[in-house]
Structure 1
Amino acid sequence: MMKIFDMKVATLATLIGLLLSGCSGDDGENGKDGDPGIPGKPGIPVATDAKALTVAVDTISVGAQSDITFTVTNEKDLPVVGLQNFGFILSGLEQGVEGDANQWKLLSSEACPASKYSKCGALVDNQDGSYTYRFEKDITSESAFTITDDKTLRLVLRTGGEAVGATEVSYANTHVDFSGQGEAAHYTKNVVNNQNCSSCHDDFAIHGGKYTEVETCAACHTDNKVSDMSKVFPMLAHEAHIGVISAPVGGCDNCHFENEQATDYANWKMVPTAETCVTCHSDVDFKEGVNHWPYADNSQCASCHTPEVIEKLHLATYQGQNERRANLHLTVTDAKMVSAPQADENKGTPGSYVQLTVDILDKDGNSRNEQLDKVNYLYYAEFYINWGGQDMGMGLGENVAAGRGKILRVHTNKGPYPGYSDKPIVLNYENGKTTYEIGPFEMEDEFEGDISDNYGIVTPRIWFCMDASGENIMDCDGQTDWSNGAAGYNWLEFFDNKGLLPERPRREVVTNELCGDCHGTTTSEDGFVQMTLNCRNCHSKAGDSEFHGTTCVSGNVDSEEQILLKNLMPRGERDWTTASNAAEECMACHNANVPPTQVIRDAHTKQGDKDYVEQLTMSHPDQKVWIHSMHANNRANQGGEGWRRNVEYSADLANCAKCHKGDSYDAKYLVGRKPLALDLDYMDTYTDPTNPINGRYAVDAKADAYVSPTAAVCLSCHGKRAAEAGEDRRQVRNEVIAHMKQNGAQFGVPLNEYSGEESCAVCHNLNNLKESHNLK
């Protein structure tokens, strides 16, 4: 027999009210008395407006007749009367049997006012901020769930979507889980919650913004509500993310991580079921026994697929990578810029040189006492070096390639491309420390003059070979499977003409944790966090084509020399990713001095196009431009219907704080920065008959025009509109270009015409940016 119960008011006030009432937002001032014309009980001041609503559930009784009472207040704790727009969901949590997971069952979903999608029961406004609602449905008629004293029930109450005074109040959901005895739930299922989702997404809102909590989705997308099993919440969530998320697919802990509310975050490995597994392993048919022996139910899944096995299969490459990385460290013990070379091989070439001293440390931090260029266990060991302070990169003008800095390739898996790779020249070896001299570096900058007193950066990229067990370092002899090896941790060091700098000299714009919220992170035993970023999604790899070794090729070339773009998709295994130090070390190459590559200029936008300069600007490799453009689908190789390079950015592009640390997006930081270099007239170098192969390399670029830095950064997000009928890609917003030019921005002007007189920061100061981007 179905039990009908009443929740005690006192219990609810202390328990549920505390759990679920939102922040009051008390501003320290007494609320104003209600306007005499506003409905309400005599003597009770009520709200005349509201920015947000807070809901406290007072009583619940469920059964053949289900009733709730609740109180609604505004941010000043004043009762809100006259509301008419509500949603009500009741669900029950059914215990899983035969290996099944515990599952929510929808008992009733109702809303007022009624519509073709939902019925409205009896709603009463008590004119004091409290409301009562009687469900239209007899929930005891739901055959999928039987209410008992110990089972968990969930009430979801939706508010918002209507005006209070002159303000339209946003939708919000409040949920409360309770037991059949009318007390706190003994157990509830929360595999993920909004905190998990908000690591990538901003405010979570679906179905027209009406539903704002993952708990609501789980309560409504149940197998007794939807006819298609793929729409049941666990399967729905998986299918919506597989192949789309920017972190490696195999990393279940990208979403399933522990927090205060996600008490069942480990269900992905604790409760394996065919229904959830097949959403990723789509080539398996458990019923028919395709790629897995047939099964009758889920009762035997956990026998083989233990938590340890599941974690190993999904995360072993990731966890093993961290373990293997710990076996070897390349550490820079000194770095400095010198005004003249000291190595005999360099003395014939004047200029400034970087002297870089490197030690090889074992897993205990002790020197291995080995000369770096003489060991055989490194598949590659490269150091990316640049100089120039906050605007890294020299060599504007004829030698733009120098803007990429220098790459010291001690061991390399790349070919010796002229002007791009450098032969390692050993200046000294002593007590395990190898000192290399690399250069020359040009100290004269077109815009800053002599930059000898500036500072530089150095960052490594290494891979070393190990045996299959991942325990012993082995020589890369061509027979050892180098894929058993490990990529070393990336780090970034700053140095000047005296040596390494003890503190970073430039502001921190992003952090590993902020980027890693979406892209995933790896963490060393000593707590060093790195973002998991697969650089090979953009850059070509060995064997692809003659484009291998150039910058940001973004694809392969077929026999007819047509560019075949690769998807911007994550790889499934984390050990095939590059652990990047929040992409900050990319500044060694990604800076204002490096024009868009030959591939961009040849394949995606051409001389004579009406938006040629704007397309190049938004496709610029400068760090502060390409990251914005990539996420906004504004690069020339993005933004077309079905294009493979498009990015499904999961948050609001206007939310600068999603990626930026503090107020680092303040436009004042762009004032006085270098303009971005462009190579507009590229055809001569591309068709150079004396150099038909290297003529295709990105390093052939020579700057002949410039773009204002603030305009370029703002254009990277604001530069394009959606395609309309008959247009195959997103279109440049000419009104934005005109606005920027009116305020001093210059696009594609020669060096002698560049003035650098942008006035953007005058109006678009920090407060304006926060207001226009809806940042608090």
Structure 2
Amino acid sequence: MMRHKKSLLALALITAFSMTACSDGEDGKNGENGENGENGENGLPAGSFTEHVATAADFKLTLNPNDIVVVGSEPFALKFSVTGKTEQGKEVPFMGLDKIAIYVTNQYENTAEGGAPYLWQNNAVANDAGYSMYCTPEGKTISWGNEVNACTLVEDTENPGTYTGTWEHDGTAPIVLADGNANNLHRVMVRSYNVTDFSGSGISDKLLSMPIDFIPATGELAVSMKDAVSNEACIKCHASLDGFAEDDSRIANVHAHHNYQEVDNCIACHNPAIAADQNDPDKGYNPNWNAMIHTIHAGHHLDLQGEAKEEFGEVGFPDELHECTACHDNGMQWQENIYAEACVSCHTNIDFETGDNHAGIIPGGDEACILCHGSGSLSPAVAHQVGQREEAQGNFVIDIQSVEVQDSTTADMSNLVVTSKVTMNGEALDATTYAEITDYMTNANRPFLLGKLNPETGAIAHGYGSDGLFRPAFTGGTLADGGMLTVSQEFATALLEGPIYATAEVQLCASQTKIVKCDSDAYQLAVANTAETKYFNLTDANADPVMTRITDPERTTVSEAKCNACHGNLTHIKGSHGVTEFSQCVVCHSENKGSVPSYHPTVTYKTDDVDADGNAIWAEVPGLTFANRDLVTVAHRFHNARWDDTPLVYRDAEGTLHGYPAPEADCHACHKEDSTLFAADGGLTSGKRAIETDAGFISPVAESCRSCHVKESALAHFKSNGAYVQDDAATTADLPIESCATCHAEGKTYGVDVVHNGSAAH
């Protein structure tokens, strides 16, 4: 054996040596090429599909009713398509989906004596199989720690982004009602799992399809008989998941269950199957959707108990509770379908068994409700005075005609004389009514509002106080024929010069659109006067008017319409002030402090402790104070819970924001979509360049940002970029422009449009 190996080695060496050193002959010819192998299948071109998305808003699953079987004897079937956006923002097929859950509900006519005329039923609940059914490629999955059967999910390789689901196990699929009515409206929605962003991190929001409503017997799309509230109504406060997509009605920020994004989704679980007694002391609310949603939004105003108090007791509805159409914007069901379950969820103090708080009336059942509340003064629309504020407000008009300066007998003083035409309930105000006008006013001290303007910038030159804000009383004037009211008041002559604005903040009581005398025992609205802000020049009556900065749409990045989308109107927010426009708000909330810097200088948070009565204990954030009442910073501060007095918008001990309905960083919840915050010179678009405090003047961009970014590191960042801040104020209002725009102007890598993206999903 050894000799054989040596021979082989010698032969190999001789052969190698001969090939490399000794041959000088011609090289042999190349052999013929072999046949080409079969081509492999072509892959999809790069960028033509995606397996990741940046946000939930970029993931869209579309269902087709013709490819769904969820009722009857035929086997379960589902087909759908999914698209996602690439990192470049291109919408392409989404591939690689490996787990979904399917929710199916049907709507049936209620033949019982009480309740809504149509009710929702969850198919899986009806089959005693939970609330939904999973689908995976394996036909199995883990649910709450246990392996369960799932439908088999298959991706169509011939049609990227298209998937089918089938039930491969014994028996009927959990979401199929074998004996259900195929003529009932059915609603299907799909939740997707295990989808990651481009860095491999999970998507923070739920990935839900837009529900589809259809009639299985015909495959036709259908319209629910119960959807009295649209997604758009919720979006007004809770924002849109994809802020700029016109065809996307998904809601951005519903805290419960980490955001089920459509009203249509909620009823999959919150339906009569889990309804409960509203008066149960442990639960304290009815989890059926029609009742629960009322209780949640009225939480702060109700005397709740049990779980309801803990969960909803601090929820403050930002609009007026009596304005039913703030939410009920989709049909008239809220007026036509009157039954106790929905009503007592807001009117929680009514006892139908005893008649307490119901005029002693003990109704025999829901069918009796319509007899009293179906029409007339007790109907929902009339009793709640729905939509009547605007008309009522228009029934008290103060039309300022002129503002003049007249001599006074007091040295260094002059009379500021305001002449207005006043109408009430469509007619000129008469002397008898004017003599009793304080009986109509919610606050007899609310006056005219006039003040000086900076002739160069339009800024209110002086803030709250006697140094340029003039407040002639609305009462005590002289009324002539035609409702011509003249009021006057003495002010320092030296102040009565140059451009001024003029408006009023009178607030009155109204009932059924008419201005009436206030009655604390009656249900009345507190409405503001209609008083268009007008502009005059006390020195030169012929001079071009100077308008406040906030009335110039080119310099204002917010609007009353943006506020009113969620709040309904500014009047009820401001209490007894009787204001409807920003031009009235900035009279006191200007960048010039006047005599009062801030009524809310400290910031509080809700601790984890409670007092002996079980009420929350609040504590101050140490070292965090604010010393100005500028409208911009006040609005930021309040909505971001940098406030005191235990407000409805607050932060807890961990710093989590509660009570603000939109995503915290969604600037376009308030700011206009087509506006930019920064001007070409790097300052604010408004032209505001300084804010006055007791200590001096501070930089407006930094102070706006500090309303949310309150850490010491943020303060140091502001200072290092040229800002004057509260603890280091300047002695002059002529401040240099901060360098914030260098990095944070729109279009920059770290621009506000990127880090605080207008799309709520970012």
Matched residue of 1:248: which SS?
coil
Shift of 1:502: 10
Matched residue of 2:422: which SS?
strand
Distance 1:77 1:707 in 2: 46
On the 8 A contact 1:179/1:185 being kept in 2, the answer is yes
Distance 1:443 1:647 in 2: 49
Which one of 328, 333, 341 corresponds to residue 256 of structure 1?
A: 328
Match of 2:262 in 1: 213
1:775 aligns with 2:758: yes
Q: CA RMSD in A?
A: 4.6
Structure 1 residues 252, 372: closer, same or farther in 2, change over 3 A? closer
* Residues 372-426 of structure 1: CA deviation (Å, up to 9, x unaligned): 9767576446211222256744458xxx7336712111318xxxxxxxxxxx6x7
On the 8 A contact 2:372/2:378 being kept in 1, the answer is no
Once the two structures are superposed, the pairs formed by residues 241-640 of structure 1 within 5 Å of their partners are: 241-242=297-298, 243=300, 244-257=316-329, 262=330, 265-286=331-352, 290-292=356-358, 293-294=361-362, 297-309=365-377, 311-312=379-380, 315-317=383-385, 322-335=390-403, 341-345=405-409, 348-349=411-412, 355-361=417-423, 363-364=425-426, 367=428, 379=441, 380=444, 382-389=447-454, 392-394=459-461, 401-402=465-466, 405-411=469-475, 433-438=484-489, 440=491, 455-463=499-507, 487-497=528-538, 498=541, 501=545, 506-508=551-553, 509=556, 510-521=558-569, 531-536=570-575, 580-594=579-593, 600=600, 614-617=624-627, 620-638=628-646, 639=650
Which one of 155, 158, 173 corresponds to residue 125 of structure 1?
A: 155
Matched residue of 2:561: which SS?
helix
Shift of 1:651: 0.6
Distance 2:170 2:546 in 1: 69
Match of 2:180 in 1: 147
On the 8 A contact 1:392/1:587 being kept in 2, the answer is no
Which one of 642, 665, 668 corresponds to residue 657 of structure 1?
A: 668
1:175 aligns with 2:221: no
Structure 1 residues 584, 487: closer, same or farther in 2, change over 3 A? closer
On the 8 A contact 2:392/2:512 being kept in 1, the answer is no
**Amino acid aligned to 2:264:** E
Distance 1:327 1:610 in 2: 44
Match of 1:60 in 2: 68
* Residues 646-703 of structure 1: CA deviation (Å, up to 9, x unaligned): 971111232222122345560435386353333xxxxxxxxxxxxxxxxxxxxxxxx3
Distance 2:514 2:46 in 1: 77
On the 8 A contact 2:604/2:620 being kept in 1, the answer is no
Match of 2:289 in 1: 233
Distance 2:335 2:425 in 1: 31
Shift of 1:88: 0.9
Matched residue of 1:585: which SS?
helix
Shift of 1:751: 5.2
On the 8 A contact 1:667/1:710 being kept in 2, the answer is no
On the 8 A contact 2:642/2:708 being kept in 1, the answer is yes
On the 8 A contact 1:95/1:103 being kept in 2, the answer is yes
Shift of 1:311: 4.1
1:110 aligns with 2:133: yes
Percent of counterpart pairs with the same letter?
19
Structure 1 residues 139, 191: closer, same or farther in 2, change over 3 A? farther
> What TM-score does the superposition give when structure 1 sets the normalisation length?
0.67
Which one of 760, 763, 769 corresponds to residue 743 of structure 2?
A: 763
After alignment, is 123-132 or 387-396 more displaced?
A: 387-396
Shift of 1:215: 0.6
> Which structure 2 residue ranges, 5 or more long, are not aligned?
1-39, 125-131, 242-250, 277-282, 301-315, 606-618
On the 8 A contact 2:69/2:176 being kept in 1, the answer is no
Matched residue of 2:723: which SS?
coil
Distance 2:401 2:460 in 1: 23
1:94 aligns with 2:160: no
Shift of 1:716: 1.2
Shift of 1:316: 4.4
After alignment, is 237-246 or 78-87 more displaced?
A: 78-87
Distance 1:138 1:589 in 2: 71
Distance 2:485 2:259 in 1: 62
Which one of 710, 725, 740 corresponds to residue 701 of structure 2?
A: 710
Distance 2:670 2:506 in 1: 27
On the 8 A contact 1:200/1:651 being kept in 2, the answer is yes
Shift of 1:769: 1.3
Distance 1:182 1:611 in 2: 62
Structure 1 residues 309, 772: closer, same or farther in 2, change over 3 A? same
Shift of 1:49: 5.8
Match of 1:737 in 2: 715
Match of 2:303 in 1: none
On the 8 A contact 2:567/2:573 being kept in 1, the answer is no
**Amino acid aligned to 2:690:** P
* Residues 597-641 of structure 1: CA deviation (Å, up to 9, x unaligned): 686469989xxx998874124xx3211111110111102445565
Structure 1 residues 307, 518: closer, same or farther in 2, change over 3 A? farther
Distance 1:484 1:246 in 2: 16
Shift of 1:743: 1.1
Shift of 1:775: 2.0
Distance 1:343 1:175 in 2: 72
Shift of 1:322: 4.8
Distance 1:77 1:603 in 2: 45
Distance 2:573 2:580 in 1: 12
Match of 2:731 in 1: 752
Shift of 1:481: 9.4
Shift of 1:148: 1.8
**Amino acid aligned to 1:67:** A
* Residues 563-592 of structure 1: CA deviation (Å, up to 9, x unaligned): xxxxxxxxxxxxxx7663244411111112
Matched residue of 1:402: which SS?
coil
Distance 1:590 1:704 in 2: 18
**Amino acid aligned to 1:462:** V
Matched residue of 1:458: which SS?
strand
Distance 2:583 2:193 in 1: 42
Shift of 1:147: 1.9
On the 8 A contact 2:451/2:500 being kept in 1, the answer is yes
Structure 1 residues 70, 199: closer, same or farther in 2, change over 3 A? same
On the 8 A contact 2:452/2:501 being kept in 1, the answer is yes
> What TM-score does the superposition give when structure 2 sets the normalisation length?
0.68
Matched residue of 2:237: which SS?
coil
On the 8 A contact 2:188/2:212 being kept in 1, the answer is yes
